[in-house]
Amino acid sequence: MTNASLSLRERLLLAFADDTAPARAAENLKGVALVVFGPGSLLASIYLPGLLARGANVVLGVDDWSRTEEMSGIPVCTSAQLSAELARRVPAGTEVRAVDFTQNRYAQARFRALARHLGLPIHDLLELFAAYDCPGVYEPVLQYRARTMERADDWLAFAERLEDERSRETLYAVLLQRLQFDRRVLDSVMACPQDEYFGVSRAQSETFTIGTREHFVDCGAHTGTIVAKLLGATDWNVASVHAFEPDSQNYQALNKLMPYPLPFMHTHCAAVSDRSETLRFHQTGTMSSHVSASGGVEVPCVKLDDMVEDATFIKMDVEGFEPRTLRGAAQLIARAKPRMAIASYHYATDLLDVADMLREIVPEHRLHLRHHYSFFYDSIIYASPRDDWAPLTRAE
């Protein structure tokens, strides 16, 4: 029986028993000449400089959509130029392999076809991360993988707690990506990125639909991306919004969403956790700002229980602080029984830790899992007291 004929669960069980993937990645990619497909992608802009600093030997980038001749110090050519550029830049007999940094299926299929045409072995960027032990989110990918491997029985038990088969298939694919360093396994399970946290169309949403009387709480509001989505989806018909964002630059942008003071809008320049305290914070003005002992600024940290009276919907993306934030909202959640959409991917055990905290606070809530991006992020746990994706009755 071939691996392709196995179910995702069967493949996952085999992967839990196989610890050779890191060695294969290092053997295939460490020290060899590399061609990067998609050097202008978001993932390349975030991760490629760090990989170069760790010694990745990238000799060329291939980009068919920009006219830039160099990215991150790497010469860039088009697909049509690649063969000639390799002959010109790489000594004959040198081993050359390609690494795919692209983020959509068309680009990935396009470059796989190019690699086949030129006889270039092609690898996923996660294999390169493994070869040089690069961080995926906040943990190095080898540590992320090892911590996932350690909890094999817990992952299988968690799968049985999920409400639907799609959630279980999503979990198996997310874990396989971590263990085998191959994003393609996500193709069959990935949910629409536009429906992350909630959808804007009641007729077509793959996740929660939004009501017009929501008491909405946004933990990790960034510049207001999700608040703006909420206001657009409801035509500004909401009962209340509490938005928490500790990064002062992001907080300023968040407040620019409101053209005039709105009685239902409450913004808070603070982090959220399970206690009121002051914490060191790594402030970047981006989505990756996070609490860190080495952070350059201090920020106030609050509990939702102390700040919010009612909630029908809680969205949470707080860079690995989700379990602590849930603990600090335990009274609110137990009382209001809101729907929740919680990011659960920043650290290897976040999915388990978030699910355990939810079971402790609201054991009757039903859990679904969806994944919205072709990388480690964005795995979201959707928790609701209802058995469907509709708003709470009092929020409709």
What is the pLDDT tens value at each position of the chain, 396 positions in all? 457 689 999 999 999 999 999 999 999 999 899 999 999 999 999 999 999 999 999 999 999 988 888 988 899 999 999 999 999 999 999 999 999 999 989 999 999 999 999 999 999 999 999 999 999 999 999 999 999 999 999 999 999 999 999 999 999 999 999 999 999 999 999 999 999 999 987 778 899 999 999 999 999 999 999 999 999 999 999 999 999 999 889 999 999 988 888 999 999 999 999 998 887 766 665 566 666 666 677 888 999 999 999 999 999 999 899 999 999 999 999 999 999 999 999 999 999 999 999 999 999 999 999 999 999 999 999 999 999 999 999 999
Buried b / exposed e along 118-157 (16+ C-beta atoms within 10 A): eebebbbbbbbbbbbebebbbbebbebbeebbebbeebbe
Domain boundary among 144, 177, 206: 144
Of 178, 176, 240, 166, give the one whose Cα is nearest residue 206: 166
DSSP 49-74: HHHHHTT--EEEEE-SS---SEETTE
Please work out, in degrees rounded to the nearest 5, the angle formed at the alpha carbon of residue 216 by the alpha carbons of 213 and 217: 165
Is the peptide bond prior to 356 cis by the omega test (within 30 degrees of 0)? Answer: no
Q: Give me the residue label for tokens 């009274």.
A: 331
Q: Residue 2 domain-assigned?
A: no
Q: For residues 379 and 181, is the Cβ–Cβ distance under 8 A?
A: no
How far is it, in rounded angstroms, from Cα 319 to Cα 312? 22
Residues 234 and 371 in one domain: yes
How far is it, in rounded angstroms, from Cα 169 to Cα 191? 12
Residues 129 and 254 in one domain: no
How do strand 297-302 and strand 277-282 relate by DSSP bridges? antiparallel
Domain boundary among 90, 117, 144: 144
Residues 214 and 324 in one domain: yes
Q: Count CB atoms within 10 A of the CB of residue 160.
A: 7
CA 256 centroid distance within chain: 26
Residue 259's pLDDT is 86
Interacting residues of 4 by C-beta distance below 8 A, sequence separation 6+: none
Residues 271 and 199 in one domain: yes
Residue 1's pLDDT is 46
Interacting residues of 324 by C-beta distance below 8 A, sequence separation 6+: 273, 274
Q: Residue 177 domain-assigned?
A: no
Residues 198 and 66 in one domain: no
Residues 115 and 200 in one domain: no
Whole domain around residue 256: which residue ranges?
190-384
Residues 208 and 63 in one domain: no
Residues 256 and 132 in one domain: no
Residues 195 and 128 in one domain: no
Residues 323 and 206 in one domain: yes
Residue 109's pLDDT is 95
pTM of this structure = 0.94
Domain count, the chain: 2
Residues 134 and 198 in one domain: no
